[in-house]
Structure 1
Amino acid sequence: MHRLEEQQTVPMVKAKSFLIAEIQAETWWTDITPVMIDHIRRQLRDLIKFIDQKAQKLVYTNFIDKLGTVEIVNVPVQQTGFSPYQYRQKIEAYIRENEDHIAVAKLKRNLPLTDGGLASLEAMLFESEVIESREKFQEVYSKDLSLKRFIRELVGLDRNAAKQAFAQYLENTSFSANQIRFVETIIDYLTQQGIMDAGLLYEPPFTDLHHEGLDGVFDDDHAEEIINIIESFNKTIGVNFGAASRSRQESDQFSSQLLC
Protein backbone atom coordinates (compact mmCIF):
# COMPACT_ATOMS: atom_id res chain seq x y z
CA MET A 1 0.00 0.00 0.00
CA HIS A 2 2.95 2.35 0.56
CA ARG A 3 3.83 2.26 -3.16
CA LEU A 4 0.23 2.97 -4.11
CA GLU A 5 0.02 5.76 -1.55
CA GLU A 6 3.02 7.45 -3.16
CA GLN A 7 1.14 7.91 -6.45
CA GLN A 8 -0.62 11.10 -5.29
CA THR A 9 -0.20 12.71 -8.71
CA VAL A 10 -2.73 10.22 -10.09
CA PRO A 11 -6.24 11.69 -9.54
CA MET A 12 -7.85 8.27 -9.01
CA VAL A 13 -5.32 7.42 -6.29
CA LYS A 14 -5.56 10.84 -4.66
CA ALA A 15 -9.34 10.48 -4.46
CA LYS A 16 -8.87 7.31 -2.40
CA SER A 17 -5.92 8.57 -0.32
CA PHE A 18 -7.92 8.67 2.90
CA LEU A 19 -9.09 5.07 2.44
CA ILE A 20 -5.58 3.89 1.55
CA ALA A 21 -4.16 5.51 4.68
CA GLU A 22 -7.00 4.24 6.86
CA ILE A 23 -6.62 0.55 6.00
CA GLN A 24 -2.91 0.66 6.84
CA ALA A 25 -3.75 1.32 10.47
CA GLU A 26 -3.98 -1.72 12.72
CA THR A 27 -7.19 -0.45 14.32
CA TRP A 28 -9.06 -0.67 11.01
CA TRP A 29 -8.57 -4.44 10.95
CA THR A 30 -10.14 -4.93 14.35
CA ASP A 31 -13.41 -6.87 13.98
CA ILE A 32 -12.99 -6.98 10.20
CA THR A 33 -15.76 -8.72 8.26
CA PRO A 34 -15.91 -10.34 4.80
CA VAL A 35 -18.22 -7.55 3.67
CA MET A 36 -15.63 -4.94 4.62
CA ILE A 37 -12.88 -6.85 2.82
CA ASP A 38 -14.97 -7.08 -0.32
CA HIS A 39 -15.73 -3.37 -0.13
CA ILE A 40 -12.02 -2.56 -0.02
CA ARG A 41 -11.35 -4.94 -2.88
CA ARG A 42 -13.90 -3.18 -5.07
CA GLN A 43 -12.67 0.28 -4.07
CA LEU A 44 -9.00 -0.41 -4.83
CA ARG A 45 -8.99 -2.97 -7.62
CA ASP A 46 -8.80 -0.32 -10.36
CA LEU A 47 -5.84 1.38 -8.67
CA ILE A 48 -3.43 -1.56 -8.57
CA LYS A 49 -2.29 -0.80 -12.11
CA PHE A 50 -0.77 2.47 -10.88
CA ILE A 51 1.73 0.73 -8.59
CA ASP A 52 5.23 1.02 -9.99
CA GLN A 53 5.99 -2.56 -10.98
CA LYS A 54 9.67 -1.81 -11.56
CA ALA A 55 10.11 -0.92 -7.90
CA GLN A 56 8.73 -4.27 -6.83
CA LYS A 57 11.39 -6.89 -6.23
CA LEU A 58 10.77 -10.40 -7.46
CA VAL A 59 11.13 -13.10 -4.84
CA TYR A 60 11.73 -16.67 -5.95
CA THR A 61 11.21 -19.62 -3.63
CA ASN A 62 12.01 -23.28 -3.90
CA PHE A 63 10.66 -25.04 -0.84
CA ILE A 64 10.12 -28.72 -0.29
CA ASP A 65 7.43 -29.42 2.26
CA LYS A 66 8.19 -32.02 4.87
CA LEU A 67 5.10 -33.41 6.50
CA GLY A 68 5.32 -34.34 10.14
CA THR A 69 2.87 -35.24 12.83
CA VAL A 70 -0.07 -32.89 13.34
CA GLU A 71 0.00 -30.99 16.60
CA ILE A 72 -2.32 -28.35 18.04
CA VAL A 73 -0.37 -25.30 19.17
CA ASN A 74 -1.28 -21.89 20.51
CA VAL A 75 -0.23 -19.09 18.17
CA PRO A 76 0.55 -15.86 20.05
CA VAL A 77 -1.04 -12.71 18.71
CA GLN A 78 1.59 -10.18 17.70
CA GLN A 79 0.61 -6.57 18.25
CA THR A 80 2.38 -4.18 15.92
CA GLY A 81 1.53 -1.22 18.13
CA PHE A 82 0.64 2.35 17.29
CA SER A 83 2.28 3.81 14.19
CA PRO A 84 2.83 7.60 14.27
CA TYR A 85 3.61 7.48 10.55
CA GLN A 86 0.28 5.87 9.69
CA TYR A 87 -1.49 8.27 12.03
CA ARG A 88 0.05 11.28 10.26
CA GLN A 89 -0.85 9.87 6.85
CA LYS A 90 -4.43 9.36 7.97
CA ILE A 91 -4.71 12.85 9.47
CA GLU A 92 -3.24 14.60 6.46
CA ALA A 93 -5.48 12.68 4.07
CA TYR A 94 -8.49 13.60 6.21
CA ILE A 95 -7.61 17.31 6.13
CA ARG A 96 -7.04 17.31 2.37
CA GLU A 97 -10.42 15.69 1.89
CA ASN A 98 -11.96 18.52 3.94
CA GLU A 99 -10.39 21.46 2.11
CA ASP A 100 -13.90 22.82 1.55
CA HIS A 101 -14.41 23.25 5.30
CA ILE A 102 -14.83 26.99 5.80
CA ALA A 103 -11.85 27.35 8.15
CA VAL A 104 -9.52 25.28 5.96
CA ALA A 105 -10.70 27.13 2.85
CA LYS A 106 -9.99 30.50 4.50
CA LEU A 107 -6.47 29.47 5.42
CA LYS A 108 -5.85 28.23 1.89
CA ARG A 109 -7.16 31.47 0.37
CA ASN A 110 -5.19 33.67 2.78
CA LEU A 111 -8.28 35.00 4.52
CA PRO A 112 -8.00 35.89 8.22
CA LEU A 113 -9.33 33.30 10.64
CA THR A 114 -11.30 34.64 13.59
CA ASP A 115 -11.40 33.03 17.03
CA GLY A 116 -14.72 31.50 16.04
CA GLY A 117 -13.18 30.14 12.86
CA LEU A 118 -10.30 28.63 14.81
CA ALA A 119 -12.78 27.01 17.22
CA SER A 120 -14.63 25.57 14.22
CA LEU A 121 -11.36 24.19 12.87
CA GLU A 122 -10.50 22.59 16.21
CA ALA A 123 -13.95 21.01 16.39
CA MET A 124 -13.58 19.60 12.87
CA LEU A 125 -10.25 18.07 13.84
CA PHE A 126 -10.50 16.97 17.44
CA GLU A 127 -14.09 15.74 17.35
CA SER A 128 -13.33 13.50 14.39
CA GLU A 129 -13.02 9.74 14.87
CA VAL A 130 -10.04 9.86 12.52
CA ILE A 131 -8.00 12.10 14.81
CA GLU A 132 -9.39 10.43 17.96
CA SER A 133 -8.56 13.26 20.36
CA ARG A 134 -6.62 16.47 20.88
CA GLU A 135 -4.26 14.58 23.19
CA LYS A 136 -3.46 11.95 20.56
CA PHE A 137 -2.89 14.63 17.93
CA GLN A 138 -0.55 16.61 20.19
CA GLU A 139 1.29 13.45 21.18
CA VAL A 140 2.18 12.75 17.55
CA TYR A 141 2.76 16.32 16.39
CA SER A 142 3.38 18.78 19.24
CA LYS A 143 1.53 20.69 21.91
CA ASP A 144 3.08 23.88 20.53
CA LEU A 145 2.01 23.21 16.94
CA SER A 146 0.22 26.13 15.29
CA LEU A 147 -2.90 24.68 13.68
CA LYS A 148 -3.14 27.56 11.22
CA ARG A 149 0.43 27.04 10.04
CA PHE A 150 0.02 23.26 9.99
CA ILE A 151 -3.07 23.48 7.79
CA ARG A 152 -1.61 26.09 5.44
CA GLU A 153 1.59 24.13 4.90
CA LEU A 154 -0.43 20.99 4.29
CA VAL A 155 -3.00 22.30 1.79
CA GLY A 156 -0.83 25.05 0.31
CA LEU A 157 -1.89 28.51 -0.79
CA ASP A 158 -4.61 29.05 -3.36
CA ARG A 159 -2.93 29.93 -6.66
CA ASN A 160 -5.48 32.60 -7.52
CA ALA A 161 -4.88 34.32 -4.18
CA ALA A 162 -1.14 34.39 -4.86
CA LYS A 163 -1.58 35.59 -8.44
CA GLN A 164 -3.91 38.35 -7.33
CA ALA A 165 -1.36 39.62 -4.81
CA PHE A 166 1.35 39.70 -7.48
CA ALA A 167 -0.98 40.89 -10.26
CA GLN A 168 0.99 44.05 -11.02
CA TYR A 169 4.07 41.98 -11.85
CA LEU A 170 2.17 39.51 -14.02
CA GLU A 171 -0.01 41.97 -15.93
CA ASN A 172 2.27 45.00 -16.25
CA THR A 173 4.06 44.87 -19.60
CA SER A 174 6.93 46.98 -18.27
CA PHE A 175 8.46 43.97 -16.49
CA SER A 176 10.85 41.68 -18.33
CA ALA A 177 10.27 37.99 -19.01
CA ASN A 178 12.91 37.14 -16.40
CA GLN A 179 11.19 39.28 -13.77
CA ILE A 180 7.82 37.69 -14.51
CA ARG A 181 9.36 34.22 -14.32
CA PHE A 182 10.90 35.13 -10.96
CA VAL A 183 7.47 36.09 -9.61
CA GLU A 184 5.88 32.97 -11.10
CA THR A 185 8.47 30.87 -9.27
CA ILE A 186 7.45 32.55 -6.01
CA ILE A 187 3.80 31.75 -6.77
CA ASP A 188 4.68 28.12 -7.52
CA TYR A 189 6.48 27.84 -4.18
CA LEU A 190 3.66 29.43 -2.19
CA THR A 191 1.08 27.25 -3.91
CA GLN A 192 2.96 24.14 -2.84
CA GLN A 193 4.29 25.16 0.58
CA GLY A 194 1.69 27.66 1.78
CA ILE A 195 4.23 29.97 3.43
CA MET A 196 7.67 31.22 2.51
CA ASP A 197 10.79 32.54 4.16
CA ALA A 198 11.72 35.49 1.95
CA GLY A 199 15.35 34.63 2.56
CA LEU A 200 14.86 31.80 0.06
CA LEU A 201 14.74 34.44 -2.68
CA TYR A 202 18.54 34.47 -2.45
CA GLU A 203 18.87 30.71 -2.94
CA PRO A 204 18.11 28.26 -5.78
CA PRO A 205 15.92 28.11 -7.80
CA PHE A 206 15.79 31.91 -7.62
CA THR A 207 19.54 32.30 -8.02
CA ASP A 208 19.19 30.19 -11.18
CA LEU A 209 17.46 33.23 -12.69
CA HIS A 210 20.12 35.62 -11.40
CA HIS A 211 23.11 34.85 -9.21
CA GLU A 212 22.12 37.67 -6.81
CA GLY A 213 18.59 36.38 -6.46
CA LEU A 214 15.88 38.96 -5.80
CA ASP A 215 18.24 41.96 -5.75
CA GLY A 216 19.69 41.02 -9.11
CA VAL A 217 16.28 40.90 -10.80
CA PHE A 218 14.44 43.85 -9.21
CA ASP A 219 15.40 47.29 -7.98
CA ASP A 220 15.27 48.07 -4.26
CA ASP A 221 11.69 49.36 -4.21
CA HIS A 222 10.22 46.41 -6.04
CA ALA A 223 12.36 43.94 -4.10
CA GLU A 224 11.09 45.33 -0.81
CA GLU A 225 7.51 45.25 -2.08
CA ILE A 226 7.83 41.60 -3.11
CA ILE A 227 9.15 40.72 0.33
CA ASN A 228 6.22 42.56 1.92
CA ILE A 229 3.74 40.59 -0.21
CA ILE A 230 5.33 37.31 0.82
CA GLU A 231 5.32 38.32 4.48
CA SER A 232 1.63 39.25 4.21
CA PHE A 233 0.85 35.60 3.44
CA ASN A 234 2.89 34.50 6.45
CA LYS A 235 1.34 37.11 8.73
CA THR A 236 -2.19 35.78 8.12
CA ILE A 237 -1.27 32.60 9.98
CA GLY A 238 1.02 34.23 12.53
CA VAL A 239 4.37 33.28 10.98
CA ASN A 240 7.26 35.75 10.99
CA PHE A 241 10.59 34.84 9.43
CA GLY A 242 11.95 38.35 8.96
CA ALA A 243 15.40 37.22 7.83
CA ALA A 244 15.21 38.55 4.28
CA SER A 245 14.33 42.10 5.32
CA ARG A 246 17.18 42.13 7.83
CA SER A 247 19.54 40.77 5.18
CA ARG A 248 18.54 43.52 2.78
CA GLN A 249 18.97 46.17 5.47
CA GLU A 250 22.42 44.84 6.31
CA SER A 251 23.27 44.76 2.61
CA ASP A 252 22.11 48.36 2.17
CA GLN A 253 24.14 49.46 5.19
CA PHE A 254 27.21 47.70 3.83
CA SER A 255 26.74 49.34 0.43
CA SER A 256 26.39 52.75 2.09
CA GLN A 257 29.63 52.20 3.98
CA LEU A 258 31.42 51.36 0.75
CA LEU A 259 30.11 54.52 -0.89
CA CYS A 260 31.31 56.59 2.06
Structure 2
Amino acid sequence: MKKIRAGEPVTEADLAQLSSLVHTQNPSVDLNTLKEFFPDSTASLDKILRTIVGMDKQAIEQSFTEFVQQTHTHMNAKQQRFIGMLKNHLVRNGSINIEQLYDAPFTQVHDMGLDGVFSEQQADIIEQFIAQFNVPLGTKINAVEKQLQP
Protein backbone atom coordinates (compact mmCIF):
# COMPACT_ATOMS: atom_id res chain seq x y z
CA MET A 1 0.00 0.00 0.00
CA LYS A 2 2.90 2.34 0.69
CA LYS A 3 4.06 2.07 -2.92
CA ILE A 4 0.53 2.65 -4.22
CA ARG A 5 0.03 5.74 -2.03
CA ALA A 6 3.47 7.05 -3.05
CA GLY A 7 2.67 6.58 -6.74
CA GLU A 8 5.62 4.21 -7.12
CA PRO A 9 5.66 1.32 -9.60
CA VAL A 10 4.04 -1.83 -8.23
CA THR A 11 5.00 -5.34 -9.34
CA GLU A 12 2.75 -8.34 -9.75
CA ALA A 13 4.46 -9.80 -6.66
CA ASP A 14 3.51 -6.68 -4.67
CA LEU A 15 -0.12 -7.01 -5.78
CA ALA A 16 -0.12 -10.74 -4.95
CA GLN A 17 1.21 -9.97 -1.47
CA LEU A 18 -1.45 -7.28 -0.95
CA SER A 19 -4.14 -9.65 -2.18
CA SER A 20 -2.91 -12.30 0.24
CA LEU A 21 -3.14 -9.82 3.13
CA VAL A 22 -6.68 -8.88 2.10
CA HIS A 23 -7.66 -12.58 1.88
CA THR A 24 -6.31 -13.11 5.40
CA GLN A 25 -8.68 -10.44 6.72
CA ASN A 26 -11.64 -11.31 4.48
CA PRO A 27 -11.43 -14.54 2.44
CA SER A 28 -14.36 -13.62 0.20
CA VAL A 29 -12.73 -10.42 -1.16
CA ASP A 30 -10.79 -10.53 -4.42
CA LEU A 31 -8.93 -7.35 -5.33
CA ASN A 32 -9.15 -8.17 -9.03
CA THR A 33 -12.92 -7.72 -8.77
CA LEU A 34 -12.21 -3.97 -8.57
CA LYS A 35 -11.21 -3.97 -12.24
CA GLU A 36 -14.60 -5.45 -13.11
CA PHE A 37 -16.30 -2.34 -11.71
CA PHE A 38 -14.46 -0.31 -14.39
CA PRO A 39 -14.71 -2.49 -17.53
CA ASP A 40 -13.66 0.37 -19.86
CA SER A 41 -10.59 1.26 -17.83
CA THR A 42 -7.08 0.76 -19.10
CA ALA A 43 -5.71 1.50 -15.61
CA SER A 44 -3.80 -1.15 -13.74
CA LEU A 45 -5.09 -2.52 -10.45
CA ASP A 46 -2.60 -0.48 -8.41
CA LYS A 47 -3.82 2.76 -10.00
CA ILE A 48 -7.45 1.82 -9.39
CA LEU A 49 -6.54 1.15 -5.76
CA ARG A 50 -4.80 4.53 -5.63
CA THR A 51 -8.09 6.24 -6.53
CA ILE A 52 -9.60 4.58 -3.46
CA VAL A 53 -6.84 5.10 -0.89
CA GLY A 54 -5.46 8.42 -2.18
CA MET A 55 -1.81 9.37 -2.23
CA ASP A 56 0.81 10.01 0.40
CA LYS A 57 1.11 13.72 1.28
CA GLN A 58 4.93 13.61 1.42
CA ALA A 59 5.13 11.96 -2.02
CA ILE A 60 2.88 14.67 -3.47
CA GLU A 61 4.88 17.45 -1.80
CA GLN A 62 8.11 15.98 -3.18
CA SER A 63 6.69 15.69 -6.73
CA PHE A 64 5.48 19.29 -6.70
CA THR A 65 8.72 20.60 -5.18
CA GLU A 66 10.73 18.90 -7.93
CA PHE A 67 8.32 20.25 -10.54
CA VAL A 68 8.64 23.84 -9.30
CA GLN A 69 12.45 23.55 -9.12
CA GLN A 70 12.67 22.11 -12.66
CA THR A 71 10.40 24.72 -14.22
CA HIS A 72 11.73 27.63 -12.12
CA THR A 73 8.14 28.66 -11.58
CA HIS A 74 7.52 31.61 -9.27
CA MET A 75 3.94 31.70 -8.07
CA ASN A 76 1.77 34.46 -6.71
CA ALA A 77 -0.70 33.90 -3.85
CA LYS A 78 -3.58 32.74 -6.10
CA GLN A 79 -1.33 30.31 -7.92
CA GLN A 80 -0.01 28.93 -4.63
CA ARG A 81 -3.57 28.47 -3.37
CA PHE A 82 -4.55 26.68 -6.60
CA ILE A 83 -1.54 24.34 -6.34
CA GLY A 84 -2.35 23.71 -2.66
CA MET A 85 -5.89 22.68 -3.64
CA LEU A 86 -4.48 20.43 -6.35
CA LYS A 87 -2.15 18.73 -3.85
CA ASN A 88 -5.00 18.20 -1.38
CA HIS A 89 -7.16 16.72 -4.13
CA LEU A 90 -4.44 14.21 -5.04
CA VAL A 91 -3.87 13.23 -1.40
CA ARG A 92 -7.61 12.54 -0.97
CA ASN A 93 -8.47 11.08 -4.40
CA GLY A 94 -5.21 9.71 -5.80
CA SER A 95 -5.91 10.98 -9.31
CA ILE A 96 -7.09 13.95 -11.33
CA ASN A 97 -7.78 14.72 -14.95
CA ILE A 98 -7.32 18.04 -16.70
CA GLU A 99 -11.05 18.76 -16.98
CA GLN A 100 -11.38 18.81 -13.20
CA LEU A 101 -9.10 21.87 -13.03
CA TYR A 102 -11.91 23.90 -14.62
CA ASP A 103 -14.55 22.83 -12.08
CA ALA A 104 -15.16 23.32 -8.36
CA PRO A 105 -13.28 23.55 -6.09
CA PHE A 106 -10.65 25.01 -8.43
CA THR A 107 -13.04 27.67 -9.70
CA GLN A 108 -13.06 29.11 -6.18
CA VAL A 109 -9.67 30.65 -6.93
CA HIS A 110 -10.80 31.97 -10.34
CA ASP A 111 -14.02 31.27 -12.22
CA MET A 112 -11.99 30.12 -15.25
CA GLY A 113 -10.11 27.54 -13.19
CA LEU A 114 -6.56 26.77 -14.33
CA ASP A 115 -6.62 29.25 -17.23
CA GLY A 116 -7.73 32.09 -14.98
CA VAL A 117 -4.90 31.56 -12.50
CA PHE A 118 -1.96 30.74 -14.77
CA SER A 119 -0.71 32.07 -18.10
CA GLU A 120 -1.29 29.86 -21.14
CA GLN A 121 2.33 28.72 -21.08
CA GLN A 122 2.24 27.94 -17.34
CA ALA A 123 -1.11 26.13 -17.71
CA ASP A 124 0.33 23.94 -20.48
CA ILE A 125 3.30 23.01 -18.27
CA ILE A 126 1.01 22.19 -15.35
CA GLU A 127 -1.26 20.09 -17.58
CA GLN A 128 1.74 18.09 -18.78
CA PHE A 129 2.92 17.59 -15.20
CA ILE A 130 -0.40 16.45 -13.75
CA ALA A 131 -1.06 14.06 -16.64
CA GLN A 132 0.96 11.53 -14.60
CA PHE A 133 -1.78 11.61 -11.96
CA ASN A 134 -4.62 10.85 -14.39
CA VAL A 135 -6.20 7.42 -13.89
CA PRO A 136 -8.67 6.76 -16.74
CA LEU A 137 -11.34 4.68 -15.04
CA GLY A 138 -14.03 4.90 -17.70
CA THR A 139 -17.64 4.34 -16.73
CA LYS A 140 -18.20 2.68 -13.37
CA ILE A 141 -20.80 -0.05 -13.11
CA ASN A 142 -22.77 -0.29 -9.88
CA ALA A 143 -22.53 -4.02 -9.26
CA VAL A 144 -20.57 -7.08 -10.29
CA GLU A 145 -22.28 -10.44 -10.03
CA LYS A 146 -20.12 -13.21 -8.62
CA GLN A 147 -20.98 -16.72 -7.56
CA LEU A 148 -19.25 -17.59 -4.30
CA GLN A 149 -17.76 -21.03 -4.02
CA PRO A 150 -18.87 -22.96 -0.89
Native 8 Å contact 2:51 2:94 kept in 1: yes
The equivalent of 2:118 in structure 1 is: 218
Name the SS of the counterpart of 1:143 in structure 2.
helix
The equivalent of 2:140 in structure 1 is: none
Higher relative contact order (CA 8 A, sep 6+): 2
Whether 1:113 and 2:13 are equivalent positions in the alignment is: no
The equivalent of 1:143 in structure 2 is: 36
Residues 120 and 188 (structure 1), Cα distance of their counterparts in 2 relative to 1, 3 Å cut: same
Residues 190 and 211 (structure 1), Cα distance of their counterparts in 2 relative to 1, 3 Å cut: same
Identity of aligned residues (%): 31
The equivalent of 1:197 in structure 2 is: 97
Structure 1 CA distance for aligned equivalents of residues 79 and 45 of structure 2? 34
Alpha-carbon deviations, 1:71-92, whole Å to 9, x = none?
xxxxxxxxxxxxxxxxxxxxxx
Native 8 Å contact 2:60 2:90 kept in 1: yes
Please list every run of 5 or more consecutive structure 2 residues that lacks an aligned counterpart in the other structure: 39-43, 138-150
Q: CA deviation at 1:233?
A: 2.4
Q: CA deviation at 1:173?
A: 8.0
Name the SS of the counterpart of 2:126 in structure 1.
helix
The root-mean-square deviation of aligned C-alpha atoms, in Å, is 2.6
Native 8 Å contact 1:165 1:229 kept in 2: no
Of 48, 67, 75, which residue of structure 2 is paired with 1:175?
75
Q: CA deviation at 1:114?
A: 1.7
Q: CA deviation at 1:190?
A: 0.7
Please list every run of 5 or more consecutive structure 1 residues that lacks an aligned counterpart in the other structure: 1-103, 242-260
Q: TM-score, normalised by structure 1?
A: 0.44
The equivalent of 1:55 in structure 2 is: none
Q: Give the alignment of 1:55-94 within 5 angstroms.
A: none
Structure 2 CA distance for aligned equivalents of residues 198 and 173 of structure 1? 19
Q: CA deviation at 1:162?
A: 1.2
Structure label with greater radius of gyration: 1
Name the SS of the counterpart of 2:24 in structure 1.
coil
Native 8 Å contact 1:202 1:212 kept in 2: yes
Aligned length: 128
Name the SS of the counterpart of 1:112 in structure 2.
coil
Native 8 Å contact 2:35 2:45 kept in 1: no
Of 102, 113, 132, which residue of structure 2 is paired with 1:232?
132
Q: Which amino acid aligns with 1:204?
A: A
Structure 1 CA distance for aligned equivalents of residues 30 and 93 of structure 2? 25
The equivalent of 1:61 in structure 2 is: none
